[in-house]
Copies of this chain bind each other. A is one copy, B any other.
Amino acid sequence: MHSPEELRLGVETYLNELVLTSELGELRDAVRYSLLGGGKRIRPVLALATAEALEVDVDHMLAAACSLEFVHTFSLVHDDLPALDDDDLRRGQPSCHSRFGEAVAILAGDALLAEAMRLALSYEAPAVARELTTATLGMIGGQYIDITTSGDRDADGLVELHRLKTGKLLAAPVGCALAVAGVPERDQGPWREFATDLGLLFQIIDDVLDATGTAEQLGKTPGKDEAAGKVTYVTLHGIEHARYLADEVRSRVDDRLAILPADTSVLAEIVATIRERQA
């Protein structure tokens, strides 16, 4: 088993050395700029750790794991566009459209999504690509809810938003690992429940950090949700109650993890990092 940091370095190396489709021409510069901007690689690391827990070789999982980072980066590039969140700063650097212009950023996002599919389709069976596609569609649906209902959400609407926008792609690493490992559907339930709650935890903490973090910590503009009048866990419940909710989900994630029939020691380390993250 590899440590989370070893897995993250494996992801960085793979992404750095990956040969993108030559027909994208110089658009590859904008794709690489967005992809290699120094994210935390939570999704691919989670995919690799789950794969190792399921006794799949890391090398065999890297393409699937990194396809998730491509989809994640696609969503960031399009979300940052002026017509959507209008964010000039991403991971502490100019966002893709600030650096390359809006037209190129739109196409770079499109290319990231299509390249993600190409990676997911490098497996003999289509199961990985199906997991990725389902997660992507859910995420896009969540993004649509986010831009159309920002001011008038209730608690249920907020859970649904997060289940889709953040949760789908944070559960997908586990789904992709199950697909590569060939785990039969009847045995997938506990894994997927763990993944779903981990996604929820991630988002509640995200809302708390957006309200309390600094630009330096976050690598992006903080306080944007509240400034935009968006309902979040913090604006809906207050910061103290949002922290309490986070603690509740934290212990549920621990329970889910404890019953998985595998060596989940590395997954537990990743969960701890998500629990305690400051950015």
Q: List 19 A-B contacts (CB under 8 A).
A: A23-B142, A27-B140, A27-B144, A78-B110, A84-B103, A84-B106, A104-B147, A104-B148, A109-B110, A110-B110, A110-B140, A113-B113, A114-B136, A117-B133, A118-B137, A121-B129, A124-B126, A125-B126, A126-B126
State the CA gap A11–B137 with chains docked (Å): 23
Tally A residues with Cβ within 8 Å of B: 46
State the CA gap A56–B130 with chains docked (Å): 24
A83 within 8 A of B: yes
Contact of A114 among B109, B133, B148 (CB under 8 A): B133
Chain copies in complex:
2
State the CA gap A121–B144 with chains docked (Å): 24
State the CA gap A84–B84 with chains docked (Å): 16
If over half of A's interface residues share one DSSP class (helix, strand or loop), that class is named, otherwise mixed; here it is helix
| Interface-central residue, A27, A102, A138, by most chain B CB under 10 Å | A27
Complex interface residues of chain A between 137 and 185 (CB less than 8 A to chain B): 137-138, 140-145, 147-148, 164
A residues within 8 Å of B by Cβ?
21, 23-27, 74, 78, 81, 83-84, 101-104, 106-107, 109-111, 113-115, 117-118, 121, 123-126, 129-130, 133-134, 136-138, 140-145, 147-148, 164
Verify B126–A121 contact, CB threshold 8 A.
yes
> If the complex has contacts A103-B84, A106-B106, A126-B126, are A114 and B113 also in contact, measured as CB distance less than 8 A?
yes
